[in-house]
Amino acid sequence: MPDAVIIGAGIVGLSAARELAQHGARVVVVERRRVGAEASSAAAGMLAPQIHADARTPLLELSLRARDRHFRLADELHAETGMAVELSPLGEMEVARSDDDERALVARVSWQREQGLPAELLSAEEVRQAEPNVNPDVRRGAFFPGDRRIDNVRLVRALAASAVARGASLLCGRPATALWVEGGRVSGVRTGAEVLRAPIVINAAGAWAGLLPGDPFPPPVEPVRGQMAAFEVAPPLVHHVVWSARGYIVPRADGRVIAGSTLESAGFDKSVTAGGLRAVLDIALEIVPRLADVRVAETWAGLRPGTPAGVPILGLGALPACSTRWGCSAMACCSVRWSAKPWRGWPWAGRRGWTSRRSRSHASLRVRDGGGVRPAA
Ligand SMILES: Cc1cc2nc3c(=O)[nH]c(=O)nc-3n(C[C@H](O)[C@H](O)[C@H](O)COP(=O)(O)OP(=O)(O)OC[C@H]3O[C@@H](n4cnc5c(N)ncnc54)[C@H](O)[C@@H]3O)c2cc1C
């Protein structure tokens, strides 16, 4: 019998599997489709907690630690699997074209510097020197040298390879159809006709985490659609990730520039819509007008696991036995080192419903793409 069954082979499930396997746990991951089938591959790969952070909060601390963990993680994964996850050495940039955007940007850099976080204001000239193709109307820029980008598709594949190399079993094409509950305790996962028994079940099913039958208090995770477009452009028109107040463009090592994204409540519909695509293209062309002449190579949409207060959900579930769940709408939060032995020292022990967890101290924050945080509207 495995020590843990993990539902979902996205970045959360695979990070957990890798870490638990490293500490000797026998782990089985069940994935209804394939490795990285959903948000973890749809993402832009930004590790950017500082870009939109307007206050020092517990979630920002978590996100900064998670971001910085990627520096070592990239090396570990390369050593273990031979796969490069393309963690960029460059920081991220934000540009402002209006008075309001400029004010917000100056204020952000100022408080972050006061807090000892690395952040620099750039003049329009300095922005143009660093990124000559950025919109000539840009009045100011900010540079966050600690924020980075990674190739999230490669990251997910490397995490899967590493988890398996460390002894985890990965069962793809195997949907979890229900939690298996015996005597009021979670004791495994049903996948079709089979029951995989384990003393620990980790629900890392992303946007679908709240849909698992058998759970009397499903986590309040809702899908938040994000639409994206990829431009095929060589040589690259930008080197850094460049943000405006409305979105971002991300250069990739393969020559593409990715633009995103929308934040939409559209249920589980992953359609790319005319309105969504227009919004994404407007963002891209506002930042680099020359993209107007470039071929759009691909468009897609993914579903973020959104939570009511926009903070990750991590902790024990409502039923006794170690049913642990995590919903998280930013990758940068997801790679914080998992506790080596969650079933012994897990901080949120006990039987709880989700209502109590929503009122935790950092419940007034929204998570945005890139792991950044800002106060809820
Ligand atoms: C367009 C877009 C851009 C983004 N950009 C960024 C970014 O730049 N930076 C950042 O930090 N974050 C970004 N995010 C957010 C980030 O992608 C997610 O927070 C993160 O990938 C969530 O990982 P996950 O493992 O929880 O979910 P997922 O990657 O969605 O994985 C969940 C897995 O569970 C599987 N599953 C579901 N139900 C079942 C079941 N019943 N049985 C078995 N398997 C099941 C799914 O098939 C899926 O593979 C972005 C998201 C989107 C959509």
Question: If you average pLDDT over residues 30-43, what whole number do you get?
Answer: 98
Euclidean distance between CA atoms 105 and 98, whole angstroms: 11
Ligand 1 midpoint to CA 207 (Å): 7
Ligand 1 midpoint to CA 8 (Å): 9
Does residue 1 have a pLDDT over 70?
Answer: yes
Does residue 176 have a pLDDT over 50?
Answer: yes
Among candidate residues 296, 328, 290, the one with its CA nearest the CA of residue 309: 328
Question: If you average pLDDT over residues 275-282, what whole number do you get?
Answer: 98
Which domains, ranges and CATH numbers included, belong to the chain? 4-84+152-221+309-334 (3.50.50.60), 92-144 (no CATH), 222-306 (3.30.9.10)
What are the DSSP calls for 197-253, one per residue?
E-SEEEE--GGGGGG-TT-SS----EEEEEEEEEEE-SS-S-SSEEE-SS-EEEE-T
Euclidean distance between CA atoms 342 and 370, whole angstroms: 27
**Between 319 and 59, the higher pLDDT residue:** 59
Q: Which of 29, 64, 152, 250 to mutate to test the pocket of ligand 1 (most atoms within 8 A of CB)?
A: 152
- Cα–Cα distance list, 280 to 12, 241, 337, 374 (Å): 27, 15, 33, 21
- DSSP 8-state secondary structure symbol assigned to residue 372: -
Euclidean distance between CA atoms 340 and 80, whole angstroms: 19
Q: Which helix (H) or strand (E) holds 191?
A: strand 185-191
Does residue 150 have a pLDDT over 60?
Answer: yes
Q: Which of 7, 38, 328 to mutate to test the pocket of ligand 1 (most atoms within 8 A of CB)?
A: 38
Contact 370, 147 (CB under 8 A): yes
pLDDT at 312: 83
Average pLDDT, whole number, for the chain? 86
Block residue for tokens 């036995």: 321
Tokens of 306: 């959104």
Euclidean distance between CA atoms 167 and 2, whole angstroms: 11
Number of H helices, E strands in the chain: 9, 21
Q: pLDDT tens digit string along 307-325?
A: 888 888 887 776 654 444 4
Euclidean distance between CA atoms 134 and 123, whole angstroms: 13
Does residue 326 have a pLDDT over 80?
Answer: no
Q: Which helix (H) or strand (E) holds 112?
A: helix 99-114
Does residue 132 have a pLDDT over 90?
Answer: yes
Lowest mean pLDDT among 144-148, 159-163, 219-223: 219-223
Ligand 1 neighbours (beta carbon < 6 A): 7-13, 30-33, 37-40, 42-46, 175-176, 204-208, 226, 228, 260-261, 302-305, 328-332, 334, 369-371
Does residue 213 have a pLDDT over 90?
Answer: yes
Question: If you average pLDDT over residues 316-345, what whole number do you get?
Answer: 45
pLDDT at 329: 44
Euclidean distance between CA atoms 162 and 333, whole angstroms: 20
